[in-house]
Amino acid sequence: MRRRKLGNLKLKNRVKLVCAIVTVSFLITQIFTAFQLIIVPRLTTPSTKTTDLSKRASISEFGETVIKLLPEDLAFTLFLPSEEAIRRDLRLKRNDSDSYAVLTRVMGFSSVPRWISSGDLEIGKEKSYDSISGLSLRVSKDLNGNVVVNGVVSEEVDLRIGEIIVHVMDGVVMDAEFEQSLRPDDDDDDFD
């Protein structure tokens, strides 16, 4: 009888010991996490808050429209097509009735809900991010310091507008299906 009580007592002590170790480990983890949040500054916070888009010469009227679609108070990175790229690749003109719908779609492909500055990237090393539409973006930096997204090279990097980092791209970041839908139909097929 005494043996059984002694065995139960040892088992209870081991359970108490494990519970105590788990509790202490949890508390230490919480304390260190809280300490790091207090001590570590937000290194990737945009340093310049500019909401006047007209001061940015490289951001076109179409670009302003896309930027205004994003919430100003959340961290986003936008791989914005240049005005020339919008005209060349999307074939948009200022008075097109479809321009808002096309720009909304492009914004979904080229916006990432986090900050990605050129300083976060290493030359030649690709990082993968998902855009807000779910398109997988392969982002890297070339030898000239330009940001490259899915093969599209930037013209200007690290513009900061509110909480948004904007990289002006010499092309449009989009998925293949949407790109195919923008190509003009070849109506001149002569099979005579």
Q: With 50 as the cut, is the pLDDT of residue 105 above it?
A: yes
**How far apart, in whole angstroms, are the C-alpha atoms of residue 40 and residue 162?**
22
Please tell me the predicted confidence (pLDDT) of residue 59: 76
* Cα–Cα nearest to 42, from 112, 117, 110: 117
Q: What are phi and psi of 76, to 5 degrees?
A: -140, 155
**Residue whose token pair is 């009580």:** 5
On whether the CB atoms of residues 55 and 61 are closer than 8 A, the answer is: no
Q: Are residues 24 and 112 in the same domain?
A: no
Q: Are residues 177 and 110 in the same domain?
A: yes
**How far apart, in whole angstroms, are the C-alpha atoms of residue 182 and residue 153?**
20
Q: Are residues 80 and 153 in the same domain?
A: yes
Residue 1 lies inside a defined structural domain of this protein: yes
Q: Are residues 9 and 59 in the same domain?
A: no
Q: With 80 as the cut, is the pLDDT of residue 187 above it?
A: no
Helix (H, G, I), strand (E, B) or coil at 130: strand
Dihedral through CA 107, CA 143, CA 120, CA 45, nearest 10?
Answer: -70
Q: With 90 as the cut, is the pLDDT of residue 112 above it?
A: yes
Q: What are phi and psi of 56, to 5 degrees?
A: -100, 100
Instruction: Report the domain count for the chain.
Output: 2
Q: Are residues 34 and 124 in the same domain?
A: no
On whether the CB atoms of residues 130 and 111 are closer than 8 A, the answer is: no
**How far apart, in whole angstroms, are the C-alpha atoms of residue 79 and residue 140?**
12
The mean pLDDT value of the chain amounts to 78
Residue 131 lies inside a defined structural domain of this protein: yes
- Tell me the mean pLDDT in the region 139-165: 92
Q: Are residues 17 and 58 in the same domain?
A: no
Q: With 70 as the cut, is the pLDDT of residue 151 above it?
A: yes
On whether the CB atoms of residues 142 and 148 are closer than 8 A, the answer is: yes
Chain CA centroid to CA 95, Å: 30
Q: With 50 as the cut, is the pLDDT of residue 188 above it?
A: no
Q: Which two tokens stand for residue 111?
A: 């916006």
Between the alpha carbon of residue 10 and those of residues 1, 2, 3, 21, 22, the distances in Å are 15, 12, 11, 17, 19
- Tell me the mean pLDDT in the region 106-129: 91
Q: Are residues 100 and 171 in the same domain?
A: yes
Q: Are residues 58 and 36 in the same domain?
A: no
CATH of the domain at 144: 2.30.180.10
Please tell me the predicted confidence (pLDDT) of residue 9: 53
Please tell me the predicted confidence (pLDDT) of residue 190: 46
- Tell me the mean pLDDT in the region 14-25: 85
Range of the structural domain that residue 10 is part of: 1-40
Q: Are residues 31 and 67 in the same domain?
A: no
Q: Are residues 89 and 142 in the same domain?
A: yes
Residue 142 or residue 162, greater confidence:
142
- Tell me the mean pLDDT in the region 85-101: 78
Q: Are residues 101 and 24 in the same domain?
A: no
On whether the CB atoms of residues 159 and 165 are closer than 8 A, the answer is: yes
Q: With 60 as the cut, is the pLDDT of residue 173 above it?
A: yes
